[in-house]
Structure 1
Amino acid sequence: MYELKTKENDKSVLAFIEKVDSKTKQEDAFRLLDIFTEATGYQAKMWGESIIGFGAYHYKYKSGHEGDAPLVGFSPRKAKISLYFATGDTQREDLLKDFGKHTTGKACVYINKVADIDVDVLKALITQSVTFLNETYPKNKA
């Protein structure tokens, strides 16, 4: 059976951010920590080795695959900062039109730095993602 590698753990979020090599990315990570905490009302937790997540939900797909994941999160990666939002939320695309400089993947939105984006749109993306996941998976464990 497949086992998720990215699980919530008790590692220190602040210690993780303090180890980020780039001073600019480190400063952006602290700023994102404040933004995500304020927008969600959840305490930041480490998920795996490098994802800072907020809240949690339990998902179960039709295939039978299930697990736990953060409602939203981010990771200050070497190349770009990854922002994690709900997949399948059609409102995400509308919000991203006014977000600023970014690229997207299936579940991630990638930015170079916080200065490139509209923070109010980021807050709206966070709130929308949390709402969407709480509605999609109503037995939220967070």
Structure 2
Amino acid sequence: MKPTGDDVAGLIARSSPAARRRDAETLTAMMQEITGRPPQTWGTIIGFGTCHYRYPTGTEGDSGLLGFAPRKSATTIYLLDGVDAHADALEKLGPHTAGAGCLYIKDLEQVDLDVLRGILERSLSWVEAGGTDQIQLTVTG
């Protein structure tokens, strides 16, 4: 996937319901502060920075260092190191659901933002360290 260059503010403005727009603004500010990189669109995903990933199978591509998508049912936060790496923190986060590499939050006002910030900071550190044998990461932007 590559950055699409669409307007980030426009993507946020088109998000619904209103809580998703509010949460997108909060996450945009938080992730920009954590990464030190401006937001950019990757289709319907708002990403920060770029990295190249490669699996032992040969599958490879590009991704944001951190990113999220303001979906109608919940905000999806993408964690390249997977949610299992944050099991202890997730117990303290507040209401959420999770997939292998995704964290789903319906309302940021109901979660502990300090815990979320810690999860995002640890995930970014993992990416910047180059991943593991299972996924090799190279920060490219």
Same fold (TM over 0.5): yes
Distance 1:134 1:29 in 2: 24
Equivalent in the alignment of 1:104: 98
Q: Deviations over 1:15-70 (max 9, x none)?
A: 1101113222111111111111112211111012x100111111111111110011
Q: TM-score, normalised by structure 1?
A: 0.88
Structure 1 residue 140 and structure 2 residue 134: aligned? Answer: no
Deviations 1:68-94 (A, max 9, x none): 011111111011110111234753222
Unaligned segments of structure 2, at least 5 residues: none
Q: CA deviation at 1:138?
A: 5.7
Distance 1:21 1:89, change over 3 A: closer
Query: Superposition RMSD on alpha carbons, in Å?
Result: 1.5
1:8 aligns with 2:7: no
**What residue ranges of structure 1 are gaps of 5+ in the alignment?**
1-5
Contact in 2 for aligned 1:102/1:112 (Cα 8 Å): yes
Cα 1:138/1:27, change in 2 over 3 Å: closer
Q: Is the 8 A contact 2:83 2:100 kept in 1?
A: no
Q: CA deviation at 1:139?
A: 3.1
State TM-score, norm by structure 2.
0.89
Q: Partner of 1:85 in structure 2?
A: 79
Q: Which residue of 2 aligns with 1:43?
A: 38
What does residue 21 of structure 1 align with?
16
- Identity, % of aligned pairs? 33
- 2:46 is aligned, of 35, 46, 52, to 52
Is the contact made by 1:40 and 1:126 (CA closer than 8 Å) also made in structure 2?
A: no
Aligned equivalents of 1:91, 1:128: Cα separation in 2: 9
> Equivalent residue of 2:93, what SS?
coil
Contact 1:89-1:129 at 8 Å conserved across structures: no
Q: Is the 8 A contact 1:25 1:76 kept in 2?
A: yes
| Residues matched between the structures, number | 136
Does structure 1 retain, via aligned residues, the 8 Å contact 2:79–2:102? Answer: yes
